[in-house]
Structure 1
Amino acid sequence: MTPNGRMSLPIGIRKRLGLEAGGAVLVEETADGVVLRTVGQAVAKAQAIAKRYAQQPDASVDAFLAARREDSGE
């Protein structure tokens, strides 16, 4: 990590993830550390969460948000 907070990912990881110079990644802080996700991975995760909650008997927006807050520990 550089003094200004920039990090470099090894070329092998960048190639496997399809990241190019200046590519966007999302950073998620967890209890176990930090998770980096590509935008595509983050979208897929959000879609999976939405699909899981859409199958619930009470699939209202308010119920979704309340369950999501509970899942994230907020």
Structure 2
Amino acid sequence: MPQHVVMASNGRLVIPAAVRSELGMQNGGNFIVHVEDGQIHLEPIQAAVARAQAIVRRYVPEGVSLVDELTDDRQREAEGE
């Protein structure tokens, strides 16, 4: 749903309530912004994290926990000190 948004002279944008509601960001939030082909793209941080997790998940074998591996590595390092 395209929305008309005006940028203030200080660079601030107001994201319309309907868009914030659709994104589940009624109380504010953080975005990643990038410019691509002369267009501004805003991505909620939660969506960016989920996208990154999905990319990493493709390379982690089923049943492997990266958190557990990291914890084990840190414990071994601590024992070696």
Which range, TM-score by smaller chain? Answer: 0.5 to 0.7
With normalisation by structure 2, the TM-score equals 0.55
Q: Distance in 1 between matches of 2:19 and 2:8?
A: 19
Runs of at least 4 residues of structure 1 off by over 3 A?
Answer: none
Counting helix residues as a fraction of each chain, which structure ranks higher? 1
Larger-Rg structure = 2
Structure 1 vs Structure 2: percent identity of aligned residues? 37
Across the aligned residues of Structure 1 and Structure 2, the Cα RMSD in angstroms comes to: 1.8
Deviation per CA, 1:20-45, whole angstroms, max 9, x where unpaired? Answer: 34421111222251211111101011
With normalisation by structure 1, the TM-score equals 0.59
Which stretches in structure 2 are left out of the alignment for 5+ residues? Answer: 1-6, 61-81
Q: Distance in 2 between matches of 1:46 and 1:37?
A: 12
- Match status 1:49 vs 2:69: no
3-state secondary structure, aligned to 1:6: coil
Structure having greater relative contact order (Cα 8 Å, sep ≥ 6): 1
Count, aligned residues: 54
